[in-house]
Chains A and B, each alone.
Chain A
Amino acid sequence: MTKFTRKDLLGIRELSVEEINTILDTAHSFKEVSARSIKKVPTLRGKTVINFFFEASTRTRTSFEIAGKRLSADTINISASTSSVTKGETLIDTARNLEAMAPDVIVIRHSSPGVPHQLARLIDSSVVNAGDGAHEHPSQALLDAYTIRERKGRIAGLQIAIIGDITHSRVARSNVHLLTKLGAHVRVAGPRTLLPPRFAEIVEDGEGSLTVCAKVEDAILDADVVMMLRIQHERMSAAYFPSLKEYSIRYGLTLERFALASQEAIVMHPGPVNRGVEISSDVVDNARSLILDQVTNGVAVRMAILFLLMQSRGLGEG
C-alpha cells in the first residue's frame, strides 16, 4: 500500500522516491479519464481549489484549472500583482484572506522563493507550489518525469541533458532533484553566467548523478533526453550574454546539435518555446519532440496531485 500523507506539495527535494512513484502511478490512472468522452469524475465534488497566481502564467494555471474541473472541484483563479504586497500586505494577511474563503487546496505561484512554504505554515488548506521564483516547480518536474517514463519506460540509468538558463530556472532545480532521486544521470550546461555557483552540490541523495558540463555539446552527447530551458529576453540587458543571436548559435538546440544525442533521444521544453532562440523550429516540430505530450500529461499529473492531497486531508480528519 503506497501512502501519500503530506498536507502540501512544496517541492521535489523533500519527497521520497516512493512518494514520487505514487504520484506518477496515480497520474497514469487519471490520464485515462482525460481520454473519455465525458472527461469528468465526481471525486472532488464540493471541494474548492484556488489558483492564486502572483505571476503571469497561462499554461500552468490552465493545466491546474482543467485538472481541478475534471475532478469536479470548484476551481477559482485569482491573479494578483506582487505590487499589492509591496504596498504592505504581509503574508499573514494574504494567508488570512485566503483562509476566509475556506479553500481545500491553494495552488500558488509567486516570484519570491519560499512563499508557498511560508504560507503553508500559516494556513490549514493544502498548498501546492506552482512555481516559486527560481526555487522549485514540482508539478512541472513530475509531468516531465511522467512523460519520460511514458516514452522511455524508465528513468533510472537514463542520460538526461538540461540546457540553458539554470540560474533562474525552478524547472531545472526540481527536475534535477526528481531525476537524480529516480536514478538518472543529469548533465547541465549553459553559459557560465547562467550556471549558479556550486550547482553540482545540490544533489544530496539518490541513485543518480549530476554533472555540470563546460560545453553544451558535452551535455548532449549520447543523451537519451534533451531538455531545453526557456531564455528570458530580459537576461540580455543584465549582461548574462551579448545577444539572442549569439545565444542561439552557441547554446541553442539545432538539428546538428540534437544529432549528437542518442538515436532515440527525445526533446522536451517546459514552454512557452522561443522558436529560433533556445531551440530551432525544426527541432520543436521533430517527431521526437514531446513538448505537446508534456502539456497533455500535465493535466493528469496535476489531477493526481490534487487527488492525493485531498485524500491525505481526509486521513488527517479521520
Chain B
Amino acid sequence: MKLLITGGKILDPSQGLEKIADLLIEDGRIAEIGNDLSSQGAAVFAASGLLVAPGFIDLHVHLREPGEEYKETIATGLQAAVAGGFTSVCSMPNTTPVNDNASITRYILDQARQANLANVFPVGAITRGSLGEELAEMAEMKAAGAVAVSDDGKPVMNAQVMRHAMEYARDHDLVVADHCQDNCLAACGVMHEGKYSTLLGLKGMSGAAEDSHVARDIMLAELTGARAHIMHISTARAVELVRDAKRRGLPVTCEVTPHHLALTDAEVLGFDANTKMNPPLRSEEDRLALIEACADGTIDAIATDHAPHHADEKMLEFDRAPFGVIGLETALGACFKVLVESGAVSVMRLVEMLTVGAARVFALPRGTLQKGAIADLTIFNPDAVWTVDPVKFKSKSRNTPFANWTLRGKVIATFVAGREVYRAEE
C-alpha cells in the first residue's frame, strides 16, 4: 500500500521542515520526503497549495462514553476529531463511571478501535471516582493503555493527596494533568470575576483561584520530581508562574484552549450558555497574555477541552447550565485566525503546538513526519475562509461559542496510519 502526496508544503516542526515536496507513505508509515518522487504503484493525493502537517493531537477531549452517550459517543467524537484534523485525542476520565480502573480504560480503547478513525489515548483518573481521596489504580490503567492521569473537572483540593499522586505517578512514569482551580476560592462562580460578572450579577471565579492552584502544583512538582501538566491555562498570572517554573527547569508543561485565545468574558453579556466553560472566559488582558505565551514557547500545546453538552442542558438558566463547549471542529480555524492571521505566531509554531508540542507533553509516539514514523497526517488549506455552521458538525452536540464566526484555515483531508479517514466536501 503506497500513497504519494504531491506538491504540498510539508510542515514538520519536529524536524524544522518547511518546504514544498512530495511525501510517500508505505504500509502506514512515512517512507520518504523529497522532490519528484515516483508515483509508481501509489495512489496520489495532489496537495499543491495545501499544507501537509503531522496529524494534530488534542490532549484534552471529553468523549462522554461510557455513560453520557446522548452528548457524544466515542464514534461521533472521533468523527468530529478527524473533521477537525485531529488524528489523536486524549480522552478525559470524567465519564460515568469514571475511568479510574483498567477495565474502563480497555472499554474506551475497544470502542475507539471499532470506530477506527483517530487514535484515542485515554487519561485515567488520579483518584478513585475523582473524589480527591484515594489514589486510583494508575499502574493498571497505564498497562491497559492510559497515557496520563487527571481528575479534570474536579481539581484535587487536598494538597497531601496531590503530593502522593505525583509521587506515585512518578514511579510509573505518568504525567499528572491538573485542572487548576481552588474550589473554595472559586466559590461556585459561573464566569470570570471582573467587570462583566459585576455588571451581570453572576457569581465570579477570581483568577486567583486558578493562580494559587497552579502555584501549588508547581511547588508539588518541585517537591516530588513528578511531571505536572497544567490543563487549559487561562490567566496571565498562571502563565507567568509556568514561565518561571520552566525557566527553573521544572518538569512543568501547560496547554491552552482555542476559546481562551479567541474570546473574553465580555462574550457572556448576552447570557448565552455557550459562553460558559470552566475555566471561564477571562479578561482581555489574560487573553493577550495567553497569545504572548504561545509566541514565546511557554505554552506547549493547544488543546480543545471539547466538552459536548445536549442543547437542552445549555438551555437552562445561565448559572445552572453545565460548563463546557465543543472545539474539535473549530480549533484550527479559530487558532489560525487569532494566532497566525494576527501575526502573533507563525504557522510553524501553531502546528508545533498542535502536533509535536502536544506529543511531548504525554510522551505520545506521534506528531512527526520523520522517516519510519506512523503516517498520521493533516492536510489543510491555510487560506480558506469559512463560516461556522453548527448544524454541519460531526459532533453529536452543537454547543460552540463560535457559531456564525468566519474562521480561516480549513482541514482538507486527514490520514491515520496512511489511511484516509476524512476528506472535506468540495
CB–CB under 8 A between A and B in the complex? yes
Interface residues of A (CB under 8 A from B): 13, 85-86, 88, 90-92, 110, 112-115, 117-118, 132-136, 170, 173, 196-199, 201-202
Q: Is B271 interfacial (CB-CB < 8 Å)?
A: yes
Chain A neighbourhood of B270, CB < 8 A: 117
Contact across chains for B312 and A113 when beta carbons are under 8 A apart: no
Q: Is B222 interfacial (CB-CB < 8 Å)?
A: no
Q: Is B315 interfacial (CB-CB < 8 Å)?
A: yes
| Interface residues of A, dominant DSSP | mixed
Contact across chains for B315 and A113 when beta carbons are under 8 A apart: no
CB distance from B193 to the nearest CB of A (A): 6
Contact across chains for A113 and B198 when beta carbons are under 8 A apart: no
* Max chain A C-beta neighbours (<10 A), residue from B193, B317, B318: B317
Separation of A133 and B199 alpha carbons in the complex (Å) = 12
Contact across chains for B200 and A135 when beta carbons are under 8 A apart: yes
Q: Is B202 interfacial (CB-CB < 8 Å)?
A: yes
Contact across chains for A133 and B201 when beta carbons are under 8 A apart: yes
Chain A proximity mask over B228-270: 1 for CB below 8 Å, otherwise 0? 0000000000000000000000000000000000000000001
Q: Tell me the total A-B contact number using a CB cutoff of 8 A.
A: 68
Contact across chains for B201 and A132 when beta carbons are under 8 A apart: yes
Contact across chains for A202 and B198 when beta carbons are under 8 A apart: yes
Q: A135-B202, A198-B198 given. 4 additional CB < 8 A pairs?
A: A85-B316, A117-B271, A133-B201, A135-B201
Chain B neighbourhood of A198, CB < 8 A: 194-195, 198
Q: Is B32 interfacial (CB-CB < 8 Å)?
A: no
Chain A neighbourhood of B204, CB < 8 A: 196-197
Contact across chains for B271 and A114 when beta carbons are under 8 A apart: yes
Chain A proximity mask over B175-196: 1 for CB below 8 Å, otherwise 0? 0000000000000000001110
Can you spell out 28 A-B residue pairs with CB atoms less than 8 angstroms apart?
A: A85-B317, A86-B320, A90-B312, A90-B316, A91-B315, A92-B315, A112-B317, A113-B200, A113-B201, A113-B271, A113-B318, A113-B319, A114-B200, A114-B318, A115-B317, A118-B271, A132-B201, A133-B201, A134-B201, A135-B200, A135-B201, A136-B201, A197-B197, A197-B204, A197-B206, A198-B194, A198-B198, A199-B198
Chain B neighbourhood of A86, CB < 8 A: 320
Contact across chains for B315 and A112 when beta carbons are under 8 A apart: no
Separation of A118 and B314 alpha carbons in the complex (Å) = 11
Chain A neighbourhood of B319, CB < 8 A: 112-113, 133
Chain B neighbourhood of A197, CB < 8 A: 193-195, 197-198, 204, 206
Chain A neighbourhood of B318, CB < 8 A: 112-114, 118
Separation of A155 and B318 alpha carbons in the complex (Å) = 35
A169, closest chain B residue (CB) = B201
A54, closest chain B residue (CB) = B317
CB distance from A300 to the nearest CB of B (A): 27
Chain A neighbourhood of B201, CB < 8 A: 113, 132-136, 170, 173
